[in-house]
Amino acid sequence: MIKRADVKPGLIQKTVLIQASPAVIYRALTDAKELTRWFCDRASSEPRVGGELKAWWNAAAREGRAVFTQIVPNSLVELRWEDEGPEAPKGPGARHTLSFSIQLRRGSSEVLLRDEDYPPPDPESVAIMEEGWNGVLFQLKDYCERKARAAKKKTAALAES
């Protein structure tokens, strides 16, 4: 279930519980090969502060480029989007920051997504972005949970051997 928190204009916050370890989720968010399995068609990623993430979506003929601004393995991934097409905030001081905080909760992982734009987009754009993030978080959840289940099956099969 994805929960939304009411917050200030230009900020979207959503929380999702994922039945996978923080390490699985962190890799899904930072590893280029993993990103292509659930988020985009092609990716390159340098998961370190100052490193770049580039993502390409073939169907939309679109690409995006972000810089990692904070990174704590298995806990936090924060990106400042530098180039994300014509709909991105423009002008002096414009910015778009995206972060994923990952915390262990009763054997699962809680992921808090924060998407902040300055200047804030209009309410219609925020509604569209919120719906988009619901889809992205469901894809992340599905991918990570499938990966966690496959790892458990593999471990169980090895234990039986």
Q: How would you write the pLDDT of the chain (161 residues) with one tens digit per residue?
A: 555 555 577 789 999 999 999 999 999 999 999 999 999 999 999 999 999 999 999 988 889 999 999 999 999 999 999 865 555 555 555 688 999 999 999 889 999 999 998 777 888 888 888 899 999 999 999 999 999 999 888 777 777 76
Q: What is the pLDDT, as a whole number, of residue 1?
A: 52
Output b/e per residue, 26-40; b: 16+ Cβ within 10 A: bbbbbebebbeebbb
Task: Give the single-character DSSP code of 121.
Answer: P
Handedness of CA 74, 80, 84, 87 (dihedral sign): positive
Looking at residue 7, its pLDDT comes to 57
Domain extents in the chain: 2-121
Token output for 96: 């778009």
- Helix H segments across the chain? 22-30, 32-38, 123-160
Q: Would you state the pLDDT for residue 82?
A: 86
What count of other Cβ atoms lies within 10 Å of the Cβ of residue 104? 12
Spelled out in words, what is the top-level CATH class assigned to the domain 2-121? Answer: alpha beta
In angstroms, the CA 147 to CA 150 distance is: 5
Q: Which pLDDT value is given to residue 13? A: 94
Please name which of 38, 49, 23, 32 lies closest in space to residue 103, comparing C-alpha atoms: 23
- Please name the residues in contact with 93: beta carbons below 8 A apart, sequence gap of 6 or more: 118
Residue 104: predicted pLDDT: 95
Q: Residue 14: what pLDDT? A: 95
